Structure 1
Amino acid sequence: MGRVSQPHLRRMPVQQRSADRLARILDACAELLDETGYEELSTRAVAARAGVPIGSVYRFFGNKRALADALARRNLDSYAERIAHRLRELPAVDWRGALDVVLDEYLAMKQTVPGFAMVDFGAQIPVGAPAAGPNHEVADRLAGMLAAHLGREADDGLRRAVLVAVEAADALLQLAFRVQPSGDAAIVAETRELLRAYLARVLD
């Protein structure tokens, strides 16, 4: 599922067979994260679950942190692709509809994609996160996509507003999933209203 396009790989796959093996390794990592959590994750367990030699894992990844980072990046790539697909069906003037797509696709991935609840885009793993954090990259992607959809420039004001919205949504959605494992509907609804009110001053 999805592609991996980031510097966490020691080596990028060239042949389709290598790409398929990489996908199996990441799928196995995602399944094990759901079953055991990050602390119990190991490259040996991932290799066994994926049905590949341990050397195949080390061909792409130096350690389990790199595995989790690659899975987080694959999640972000997949998230962006899902949003882009949905935005093509919306009128360009409908920024509220675009916001609904951004939230709904996140919730759908949180509830259905293996490993996503543990790593999402990288924010849930506590060790070694870059100073800027994954939310900056998520916000940059979303600001660019939103600007393109609305036919405007992704200027500093829009990027800052989207970053604030992403940080606020991240905290509130974490709360929603702490209150209810499937995501508390009332808190999700409040989050949606908060983001609409905040972004209206930039996008209306």
Structure 2
Amino acid sequence: MPNIDLILGTDHGRRRSVRTEPTQRRSTQRLDALLDAAAEIVDELGFERLTTQMVAERAGASIGTVYRYFPDRVAVLHALRERSVRRYRERLAEALEQAELADWWNVIDAALAVCAELYRDEPGFTVIHAAPRELSERDGEAEIAHRLALLLEHDFGIRNDAETRFRLGIAVEIGEALIHRAFARDAAGDVRYLDEARRVVRVYLDEHLADRVAATTAA
């Protein structure tokens, strides 16, 4: 069974963009309602047109309530992205826990499939493409690339070094860009683009991780 804690991480629930951390259930529900409203607006109008006033009106809250949690519209978008990323990690952890992982590609394939699933059924998920990607403080690669590298090392013995993280970071960029394009072309996801995302990422990683996989197997 994969070590899914490597995907979730210790900080997957933190909210760094929220001005006031909710300490009670009612406050948490109010914050979620604001983000739900923001997600609906992003899906309907795009993130560029979102305003704090729109969020307040859609959530049935006062503008003061919005400003209690968010100093401006940018903070709303960052918080929505953080929630989307957290839900992505949680969904990926569930998928990996249920999957039969025969080799490293099954992990990457699941990561791509879950991304596509959330584009379909997670309101506001497109914001992950619009906002700056979460980067690791260690070397500036995408945080998800670091977490995938940890999992591949733990489960398949693939060395977790700068080169592996770099290649996984590139794969993440390629895959997410093509998946985003698939849903920009078709609300259900353009199958050609989704298939090409899997193919291109597989070819790329086969080329750049093959020697590491072979070395691990030989050892």
2:171 counterpart SS class? helix
2:99 counterpart SS class? coil
CA distance in 2, matches of 1:10, 1:30: 19
Q: 1:48 aligns with which of 44, 57, 80?
A: 57
1:106 counterpart SS class? helix
Q: 2:200 aligns with which of 182, 194, 197?
A: 194
| Corresponding position of 1:77 | 86
| Corresponding position of 1:176 | 182
Map 1:38-187; keep pairs closer than 5 Å: 38-117=47-126, 119=127, 121=128, 123-125=129-131, 129=132, 136-150=142-156, 152=158, 154-187=160-193
List runs of 5+ in structure 1 lacking aligned partners.
none
- Cα distance, 1:70 vs. partner? 0.5
CA distance in 2, matches of 1:60, 1:135: 29
| Corresponding position of 2:15 | 6
CA distance in 2, matches of 1:36, 1:98: 34
- Cα distance, 1:73 vs. partner? 0.7
TM-score (norm 1): 0.83
CA distance in 2, matches of 1:49, 1:145: 40
Over 3 Å counting, the alpha-carbon distance change for 1:4 and 1:23 in structure 2 is: farther
CA distance in 2, matches of 1:31, 1:42: 12
Letter in 2 for 1:90: A
- Cα distance, 1:31 vs. partner? 0.6
CA distance in 2, matches of 1:154, 1:51: 48
Letter in 2 for 1:107: A
TM-score (norm 2): 0.78
CA contact (8 A) 2:134 2:143 kept: no
Over 3 Å counting, the alpha-carbon distance change for 1:75 and 1:147 in structure 2 is: farther
1:182 counterpart SS class? coil
- Cα distance, 1:140 vs. partner? 2.9
Over 3 Å counting, the alpha-carbon distance change for 1:27 and 1:131 in structure 2 is: closer
Task: Spell out, residue by residue over 1:119-175, the C-alpha distance to the aligned partner (whole angstroms, 9 max, x if none).
Answer: 1x2x314xxx48969972333343334444435553212211110101111332233
Larger radius of gyration: 2
- Cα distance, 1:104 vs. partner? 0.9
CA distance in 2, matches of 1:144, 1:72: 23
- Cα distance, 1:65 vs. partner? 0.7
CA contact (8 A) 1:144 1:154 kept: yes
CA distance in 1, matches of 2:187, 2:170: 25
- Cα distance, 1:92 vs. partner? 4.9
Percent identity, aligned pairs only?
35
Q: Whose relative contact order is higher, 1 or 2, with alpha carbons under 8 Å and at least 6 apart?
A: 2
Letter in 2 for 1:161: R
